[in-house]
Amino acid sequence: MSTETKPEAELKKRVEGVAETLRDQFTFLRRDRLAFAGVVIVAAFVFLGLLGPALAPHDPIEHTVRDDAGSMLRLSEPTGAAPFGTTAYGKDVLSQFLAGAQPTFIVGLFGGIGTGALGFLVGLVSGYYGGWVDEVLMRLTDLTFSLPFTPMALLLLTFVTPSVWLMTGIIVAFLWKMPARVVRSEVLSVRERTFVKSARASGASDLRTMLYHVAPNVLPIGFLYTAYGIAWAIAAQASLAFLGFGDPTVTSWGRMLRQVFESGNMRVAWWWVLPPALGIAAITTSVFLIGRAYEEVINPEIQTEQ
């Protein structure tokens, strides 16, 4: 659509078109109460992710909760001073929980988007061009499949100072394979569809065909796997942090769990365990529930009957 008589109008229409498709596709939320609950949780999580650190009453690391006598409140159950209790060295669990949402959010968001985008691109190119491009890319995914994620990630993180962005990178580098495969097989079938042949017959270049005709039709799958990618990334980040390979300068939910586990206080300090544990569980489950509902929309074969 390079030359347009009224570009703005056209643009507006396009935007509306996209919005409509999205609206169409998201109507499932109204039907599926589970997915709706998931959306609420995700929204809350996004809110925490953006504003969590600002909402935290105290600095999660530097501030120490003290009793009236001024001595450190260690492993205190939830009280007025610390509504979620305190850690072994008197840190406010609530503040840690709030601040910990941010790295979780960042890794989830960017890990998910990176995974989805990279996988989508690889799947698209691989499926569309076929031949040796496909062969090479698919062998590459086979390779990432055969290298075990956790050990490889641990190895890398042993030598490089872990940071949230590095983790995101590693996660993307290992997880893109999932969407890539699915997108590719989807592309393979779309590629055979008549309208793609028809586009080529009307003289569209490969790039144009791929971007305008094939890509939009596999986009839902791409979205779906981006959503799953978010959940995977959050889970992966939490897992690595739990194993002690997370960014030590940042409080994340995974790291909080690591600290309770390591401190040997898991048996007593339930207030310290539950917020991060439930936080992670809730967000990953929600993302999956939404993804599943969305999957039913784009794959009518398995749609729930009313």
Partner 1 sequence: TGGGGNGSGGSDGGSSLTPDVPSGTPETVETKYWREWETIDADEPPLDYSATAGAVLDPVPLEFSSEDDPWMREHALMVQRGLDALGIETQLNDRPLNQLYAQSWDTKGLEAIISMSTHGPDPQRGLDPNPLLMRRTETSLSNYDNYYHPDLQEVLTEQSRATDRTEREELVAEAQRIFSEDVGALITLFPDIITAVNTERWSGYVQTPGNGPTKDSFVWSEVNLQPQTDDRAYIKGVTTSMNSLNLPWAAGGAEAKRLTFIYDGLFDATPDLEVVPALATGGGFVDDTTVELTLREGVEWHDGEPFTAEDVKFTVELYKEHSSTSQTPFYEPVESVEVLGDHEVRFNLKGPDAAFMTQRVVRSVIIPKHKWEDVENPSQHNPESPVGTGPFTYENWEQGTRFEVSKNEDHWMFDDDWRADVLGDQATTGEGVERVIWINVGNIDSMIGSLQGGEIDAIGTTLSNSQADRAASTAGVEKMTSGNFAPLDTKLMFSCPLVRDKEFRVALAKSVDTEGFATDVLQDRATVPSGENPISDLTPWHTSDTTHYEFDIDGAKSNLERAGYTWDDDGNLRFPNGDAWAAFVERIQPGNMHQRRDELGQADFS
Partner 2 sequence: MSLLDITDLTVTYSTDSGTVHAVNDVSFSIDEGVNYGLAGESGSGKSTLAEAVLGLLPGNGSVESGSIEFNGRDLTGLSERERRDVLWEDIAYIPQSAMDSLDPVMSTGAQIRQAIQTHRNVTDDKARARVRELFEIVGLDPDRIDDYPHEFSGGMRQRVTIAMALALEPDLIIADEPTTGLDVIVQDKIIDKILEIQDRMDSSLLLITHEIGVIAETCDELSILYGGKAMEQGSVDNVLVNPTNPYTMGLKNSFPEIEEGDQDPVSIPGSPPNLSEEPSACVFKDRCPFATEECEASHPDLVDLPNRNHRSACHHVTKAAQMRRDATDPETWGIPDSHDESDRGEVLLETDGLEKYYEQSQPLLDKLRGNDPNYVRAVDGVSLRVRRSEILGIAGESGCGKSTLGETIALLKQPTGGEFVFDGEPYEHYADGNMREFRRKVQIIFQDPFDSLNPRQTVRQLVGEPLTIHDYRTEERERAIVETLEKVGLTPAKKFLDQYPHQLSGGQRQRVAVAKALVLDPDFLICDEPASMLDVSLKVNLLNLLRELADTEDIGIVYISHDLASLVQVSDRLAIMYLGRVIEEGDVESIAAEPKHPYTTSLLAAAPEKDPTVDRDRVLLDGEPPDPVSLPSGCVFAPRCPKAEDACRESEPGLDTVRDGDHRAACYFPDGETPDADGLADDRSDSTYGDPEFSPPASGDSASD
Partner 3 sequence: MSEFQRFLAKRLAISILLTLVAVSVIFVVLRLLPGSPFESLVTAGNLSQQQITEIRAMYGLDQPMWRQYLSYLQSILLFQFGYSILRSQPVWGVLAPRLVNTLILLVPALVTTAVLSSLLGMYVGWNRGSKLEKLSIIATTFLRSTPVFITGILFVIVFAYNLELVPAFGMRSISASPEGYVETFASLDFLHHYILPFTVSVLYYSGDFLLLARNGVVEKRGSEFLKLHRAKGLSEMQQLARAGRNSMLPILTYFALRLGMIFQGLILLEVVFGWPGIGRELVLAIQQQDYPLVQAAVFIMALAVIVANLVADVLYAYFDPTVSTSGGGAA
Chain-centroid distance, C-alpha 175:
11
Q: Does 277 bind partner 3 (CB under 8 A)?
A: yes
The residue among 17 and 83 lying less far from partner 2, judged by its C-beta, is 17
Nearest 5°: the CA angle 217, 13, 192 is 20
Interface region with partner 1, contact rule CB under 8 A, candidates 1-9, 142-150, 158-166, 294-302: 158-166
First-to-final CA distance of the chain: 41
Q: Quick one: tokens of 53?
A: 């650190």
Residue of 81, 152, 173, 211 that binds partner 3 (CB under 8 A) = 152
Tell me the two tokens of residue 298.
């784009």
Contact criterion met (CB below 8 Å) for 195 and 213: yes
151 near partner 1, rule: CB under 8 A: no
Amino acid at 72: M
**Of the listed pieces 63-71, 178-186, 195-203, 215-223, which binds partner 3 according to CB under 8 A?**
178-186
Cα distance between residue 279 and residue 270, in whole Å: 14
Query: Is 288 a binder of partner 3 (CB under 8 A)?
Result: yes
Q: What angle do CA 223, 43, 50 make, to 5 degrees?
A: 100
For 3-140, strand residue ranges (E) read none
Amino acid letter, residue 164: V
Which does residue 151 touch among partner 1, partner 2, partner 3, none (CB within 5 to 8 A, set by kind)?
partner 3
Contact pick of 18, 24, 145, 205 for partner 3 (by CB under 8 A): 145
- One character per residue 150-179, x = contact with partner 2 (rule: CB under 8 A): ------------------------------
Residue selected from 69, 201, 207, 302 as contacting partner 2 according to rule CB under 8 A: 201
Are the C-beta atoms of 82 and 65 separated by less than 8 Å? yes
Q: What share of the chain is helix, strand, coil (3-state, %, to 5)?
A: 75, 0, 25
Query: Could you tell which of partner 3, partner 2, partner 1, none binds residue 273, using a CB distance below 5 to 8 A set by kind?
Result: partner 3
Angle, helix 93-129 to helix 177-191, in steps of 10 degrees: 30
Structure tokens, 300? 């009518």
The binding site for partner 3 (CB under 8 A) comprises: 34, 139, 142-143, 145-148, 150-152, 154-156, 158-160, 181-182, 185, 231, 235-236, 238-239, 242-243, 257, 261, 266-267, 270, 273, 277, 280-281, 284-285, 287-289, 292, 301-302, 304-306
The binding site for partner 2 (CB under 8 A) comprises: 1-5, 13, 17, 21, 193-195, 197-205, 208, 212-213, 216-217, 305-306
The binding site for partner 1 (CB under 8 A) comprises: 61-62, 71-72, 74-75, 88-89, 157-159, 161-162, 244-245, 248-249, 261-268
